Amino acid sequence: MLISTAYAQSAPAAAPANDLSSSLMSMLPLVLMFVVLYFIMIRPQMKRQKELKAMLDALAKGDEVVTTGGMLGKIAQLGDSQIGLDVGNGVVLQLQRSAVIQVLPKGSIK
């Protein structure tokens, strides 16, 4: 016959492994991935949100601003959640305060 008979061999005795250290080592890449994700994505986004909230709270009458729609104007009226934006020739638009994305330096709008 061309094929020889195969006999089952007993498995070698496994060395006792420290289960705690092996499980911690297997979790290490996952933990490192979350740490990197926090410092690259979550933390900068939280910082931007904090700066935007501070800017919206500091809005004052007469500030020149840019809205999310790209409109430029001076703040004519302030409310808790809305502003009146003077866009020129006495036209005042009512917008939500959150629509403001940037405060311009004085004299930017002519």
Under 8 Å between Cβ of 78 and 92: no
Looking at residues 62-77, what average pLDDT do you find? 96
The token pair that represents 60 in the structure block:
């004052």
pLDDT value of residue 105:
95
Q: How many Cα atoms sit within 13 Å of 51 on the Cβ side?
A: 9
> Range with the lowest mean pLDDT among 6-15, 46-55, 66-75, 77-86?
6-15
Under 8 Å between Cβ of 87 and 71: yes
**Does pLDDT of 11 surpass 70?**
no
Give the helix ranges, DSSP H, for the chain.
19-37, 43-57
| Listed residue (77, 70, 67, 74) closest to 98, CA to CA | 67
